[in-house]
Amino acid sequence: MTTRTAVIAGATGYLGGYVASVAHDEGYRVRALARDASRVPEGRCDEVFVGQATEPDSLAGLFDGAEVAFSSIGVRHFRRHPNIWEVDMQANLNLVEAAERAGVRRFVFVSVLHGPQRRDRLPVAEARERVVDRLRASTMEWAVLRPTGFFNDLDAYLDMARKGRVWLIGSGDERLNPIHGSDLAVAAVAQFDGASPIELDVGGPDVFTQREIGELAFSALGETPRFGRVPPGLLEGLASLSAPFNANLSTFLRMFALLGRTDAVGPCTGTHHLADHYRTLAVNR
């Protein structure tokens, strides 16, 4: 049987690293796209293709002979450039177009939970859903996963607890079910084989309020919980003020504000528990 090649864009990041690992274990020949080859995790990738997704010319040959493409490329910093329109949207559109031209069978993409419902008020949702729009119009088969927050983002609660106070957004009663990268990777690689278009919301196994997540963080450190409150309206005001000159800062402030306004719960899956993750980090850091 010929080995199937999967191109993983984002393999140098949190989710993409796990996807490369799971795909490798499932028998795919993993080709990682990286702008810096030294950042590709060892042992998970069979080939490294050095290229820059924001520059389409650098992607020539990336998808040669590949059956599947996956992308979790996106911005997770507050600097002005590159911004969500250049990376979350345009770099991923460049990948979709290059994959389509090369005859890739299936493209698996990661958007954000409730992306279609939030795209008019959350720019990063709009940026990523425009990629989904392009996939819908493509000749490839495709799958879109829309996950809740990842464990790596939730590490912020443990960091705040170490400093003595966890800042809750709003009342702290809104619920979310964060997911570990390896659990989401299993769900993503399961879609490499599918045939029809599919859109899946995905959440982790445990549903918590923000306050309960703060309590877990303090409990892992053996400390008494102490909380502060940030009004979502303050974050929304700052998001509006920063929007004209910093799209990244603005969209992440809006995303934080949403945490204090609505639940972010996806269908529960996975086996990794946040309490165990915090206990491990508390011991090891």
Ligand X SMILES: NC(=O)c1ccc[n+]([C@@H]2O[C@H](COP(=O)([O-])OP(=O)(O)OC[C@H]3O[C@@H](n4cnc5c(N)ncnc54)[C@H](OP(=O)(O)O)[C@@H]3O)[C@@H](O)[C@H]2O)c1
16 binds ligand X (CB under 6 A): yes
Which listed residue (20, 48, 73, 220) binds ligand X by CB under 6 A? 73
CA distance 117 to 72: 20
Convert residues 137-176 into a mask of x (bound to ligand X by CB under 6 A) and - (unbound): ----------x-xx-xx-----------------------
Which listed residue (5, 12, 83, 191) binds ligand X by CB under 6 A? 12
41 binds ligand X (CB under 6 A): no
Based on its alpha-carbon atoms, the radius of gyration of the chain, rounded to whole angstroms, reads: 19
110 binds ligand X (CB under 6 A): yes
75 binds ligand X (CB under 6 A): yes
Which listed residue (8, 93, 112, 216) binds ligand X by CB under 6 A? 112
The candidate with the shortest Cα–Cα distance to 169, out of 219, 214, 218, is: 214
Q: Closer to ligand X at the Cβ: 109 or 224?
A: 109
Packing angle between helix 181-190 and helix 14-25, nearest 10 degrees? 50
Q: Which stretch binds ligand X (CB under 6 A): 47-55, 189-197, 245-253, 262-270?
A: 47-55
15 binds ligand X (CB under 6 A): yes
Bridge-partner residues for 106, per DSSP?
A: 68, 141
Q: Closer to ligand X at the Cβ: 74 or 170?
A: 74
Minimum gap (Å) between residue 183 Cβ and ligand X: 13
CA distance 250 to 246: 6
Neighbours of 135 (CB within 10 A): 23
Which listed residue (41, 56, 65, 82) binds ligand X by CB under 6 A? 82
Which listed residue (23, 45, 53, 161) binds ligand X by CB under 6 A? 53
Minimum gap (Å) between residue 180 Cβ and ligand X: 11
- Is the dihedral angle over the CA atoms 105, 109, 113, 114 positive or is it negative? negative
CA distance 95 to 131: 10
101 binds ligand X (CB under 6 A): no
266 binds ligand X (CB under 6 A): no
For residues 45-75, b (16+ Cβ closer than 10 Å) or e, as one string?
beebbebebbebebbeebbeebbbbbbbbbb
Q: Which stretch binds ligand X (CB under 6 A): 8-16, 98-106, 193-201, 208-216?
A: 8-16
Which listed residue (66, 91, 99, 265) binds ligand X by CB under 6 A? 91
Check residue 94 and report its DSSP letter.
H
Which listed residue (6, 8, 10, 30) binds ligand X by CB under 6 A? 10
115 binds ligand X (CB under 6 A): no
227 binds ligand X (CB under 6 A): no
- Is the dihedral angle over the CA atoms 225, 264, 200, 65 positive or is it negative? negative
- Is the dihedral angle over the CA atoms 242, 243, 246, 250 positive or is it negative? positive
Centroid of chain to Cα 145: 9
Q: Which residue has the tokens 């770099």?
A: 91
Q: What is the contact surface with ligand X in residues (CB under 6 A)? A: 10, 12-16, 35-36, 39, 52-54, 72-76, 82, 87-88, 91, 110, 112, 128, 147, 149-150, 152-153
